[in-house]
Amino acid sequence: MQQDILINWSPQETRVAVVEYGAVQELHVERTLERGLVGNVYLGKVLRVLPGMQSAFIDIGLERAAFLHVADLMSSIHSRHADADTATSPAAVPQPIEKQLFEGQAMMVQVLKDPIGTKGARLTAQISIAGRLLVFLPQDKHIGVSQKIPAVQREDLRRRLQAVTADIGGGFILRTNGEDATDAELAEDVAYLRKTWARIKDTAVRLPPTSVLHQDLSLLQRVLRDMVVENTQSIRIDSREQFEQLKVFAVEFMPATLQRLQLHSGERPIFDLFNIDEEIAKALGRRVDLKSGGYLIIDQTEALTTVDVNTGGFVGTRNFDDTIFKTNLEASQAIARQLRLRNLGGIVIVDFIDMVQLRHRESVLAEFQKQLARDRIKTHVNGFSALGLLEMTRKRTRESLAHQLCEPCSACRGKGVVKTARSISYDILREILREARQFNPREFRVIASPKVIELFLDEESQHLAGLSDFIGKPVSLQSEAAMAPEQYDIVLL
């Protein structure tokens, strides 16, 4: 299946869409102000060594000095890769930090944690460089495999990795998405990582302290490293400046992608060609309409994502079983696409419409697995449960599209629903009664949204008047258009 990659660039945001036969399959967004520093390598300058804390403050050119602990100065680098198999590595006993560092010393460091509040960045002196399939440890000899890969495969993968990296200095850790990689793909990743490390070392010699030696790849560069596959026919970008920079990156690190790079210079914006903005809007909604007339309802929670399949307006042409089967078959294709489009990870529960015939179930499951096979992210399908629900998992790689672009509603606080105006009016009446038993004001004033005030003036006026007579105090009303549906204030005058 032919694939096109469209890149919309602006100074504040980069957006990438992966398109197959006119349909958007993946969306990626990176915002300039939200890019962190984790992974960046600097030539730092030691400002202060603190023997009592066994740590040091390092100037890396940021507003606040960064922090380096002795454990991050001497500890074995792969201990920071919690998903790596580290059974073969002995623990290191660090020397006191005052015997290793002195004020004014220049040293290469990498950011472990971004600055937060008044705290500076957390650093390590042990450098690691992430590739598409591997993590390169230039100061280590360790060969490791992600613990997320099943144990029965790890030893074989470690032997393969040792063979591919024989006679190459440094260590490597095979990432989870390298589980099914060929030796040629691993060798290509090794070449990219070695070039990157050589460039870092060369830059460290030429630049003064507090300089940036290496930035973790931007989304633009990750497109060439991670997203280009054999069937990618074009990579189109709408910024001439970024197009030229991508060409330079491709020439040095990804020469095979160079001939696919294209500058979009048409009159229509590049995302308009395939209605990408419309697809983004749809990918943020709960409902996904199917061509047959059926539809999906997708709900994302903290723990899992649920997908409900409905026949909607699809009535079929033969019988009800046939209608259900065809709807589920179409839904299985749409769900696999929506998982990629929205980048939904973790546990996913799909409630297909109940199928009586076993062969229909098996056909839907086979089609679903076929569609998931196109996903670059690792998925695992458990099949149908005893309740008829399909259970699966999809590896979390980054925040979902909805979490990137949206925030909880200030009116409903993320519930997705708000109380009715009548429910709020009754809450207010109960609150006034509580206040009247504790305080003795001259008057109660209710400040609420227009809908609630309108209800008090019309249908609930009798109840409000009855409460006023019961407590022996007047109750006045004030409409506030800026208030959310559930907001209100009761002022004691």
Residue-wise pLDDT tens digits, 335-348: 999 999 999 988 99
Q: What are the extents of the domains in the chain?
A: 3-34+220-276, 41-215, 284-399, 421-492
Return the CATH class of domain 41-215: mainly beta
pLDDT (average), residues 348-364: 92
pLDDT tens-digit readout, 366-412: 999 999 988 888 889 998 988 889 999 998 777 888 888 988 888 88
Mean pLDDT of the chain: 88
Looking at residue 347, its pLDDT comes to 94
62 near 115, Cβ under 8 Å? Answer: yes
Looking at residue 241, its pLDDT comes to 94
Looking at residue 84, its pLDDT comes to 53
Residue 132: pLDDT band (50, 70, 90) is confident
Looking at residue 450, its pLDDT comes to 94
Looking at residue 200, its pLDDT comes to 95
Q: How far apart are CA 274 and CA 487, in angstroms?
A: 42
263 near 33, Cβ under 8 Å? Answer: no
| Predicted confidence (pLDDT) at residue 55 exceeds the cutoff of 70 | yes
Fold classified for 421-492:
Hypothetical Protein Ychn; Chain: A, (3.40.1260)
Looking at residue 101, its pLDDT comes to 92
pLDDT tens-digit readout, 255-295: 889 999 999 988 888 998 888 999 899 899 999 999 888 89
Looking at residue 77, its pLDDT comes to 40
Looking at residue 87, its pLDDT comes to 41
CA angle 228, 229, 232 (to 5 degrees): 80
| Predicted confidence (pLDDT) at residue 102 exceeds the cutoff of 90 | yes
Residue 47: pLDDT band (50, 70, 90) is very high
Taking the complete model, does pTM exceed 0.75, yes or no?
Answer: no
235 near 228, Cβ under 8 Å? Answer: yes
279 near 22, Cβ under 8 Å? Answer: no
Q: Which of 81-85, 120-124, 356-360, 442-446 bottoms out in mean pLDDT, i.e. has the lowest?
A: 81-85
Q: Percent of the chain beyond pLDDT 70?
A: 94
Looking at residue 303, its pLDDT comes to 81
CA distances from 268 to 29, 69, 261, 310 (A): 21, 53, 19, 37
The 3 state secondary structure assigned to the chain is CCEEEEEEEECCEEEEEEEECCEEEEEEEEEHHHCCCCCCEEEEEEEEEECCCCEEEEECCCCCCEEEEHHHHHCCHHHHCCCECCCCCCCCCCCCHHHCCCCCCEEEEEEEECCECCECCEEECCCCEECCCEEEECCCCCEEEECCCCHHHHHHHHHHHHHHCCCCCCEEEECHHHCCCCHHHHHHHHHHHHHHHHHHHHHHHHCCCCEEEECCCCHHHHHHHHHCCCCEEEEEECCHHHHHHHHHHHHHHCHHHHHHEEECCCCCCHHHCCCHHHHHHHHCCCEEECCCCCEEEEEECCCEEEEEEECCCCCCCCCHHHHHHHHHHHHHHHHHHHHHHHCCCEEEEEECCCCCCHHHHHHHHHHHHHHHCCCCCCEEEEEECCCCCEEEEECCCCCCHHHHHCCCCCCCCCCCCCCCHHHHHHHHHHHHHHHHHHCCCCCEEEEECHHHHHHHHCCCHHHHHHHHHHHCCCEEEEECCCCCCCCEEEEEC
Q: How far apart are CA 384 and CA 397, in angstroms?
A: 25
Q: How far apart are CA 336 and CA 367, in angstroms?
A: 10
**pLDDT higher for 299 or 74?**
299
Looking at residue 341, its pLDDT comes to 92
| Predicted confidence (pLDDT) at residue 83 exceeds the cutoff of 90 | no
Tell me how long the chain is. 493
Q: How far apart are CA 192 and CA 215, in angstroms?
A: 15
| Domain at 3-34+220-276: CATH code | 3.30.420.60
| Predicted confidence (pLDDT) at residue 86 exceeds the cutoff of 50 | no
| Predicted confidence (pLDDT) at residue 459 exceeds the cutoff of 50 | yes
Residue 52: pLDDT band (50, 70, 90) is very high
Query: Quick one: tokens of 240?
Result: 């001439």
Which of 179, 195, 187 lies closest to 163 in space, CA to CA? 187
Q: How far apart are CA 470 and CA 466, in angstroms?
A: 6
Give the residue carrying structure tokens 């060798």: 187
pLDDT tens-digit readout, 301-352: 888 999 999 987 665 556 778 888 999 999 999 999 999 999 998 899 999 9
Looking at residue 314, its pLDDT comes to 60
Looking at residue 88, its pLDDT comes to 41
- 463 φ, ψ to 5°? -65, -40
Query: Quick one: tokens of 292?
Result: 């047959």
Query: Which strands form 143-145's sheet, in the order they lie side by side?
Result: 129-130, 134-137, 171-174, 143-145
Q: Percent of the chain beyond pLDDT 90?
A: 56
CA distances from 281 to 26, 28, 206, 401 (A): 14, 14, 47, 11
Residue 16: pLDDT band (50, 70, 90) is very high
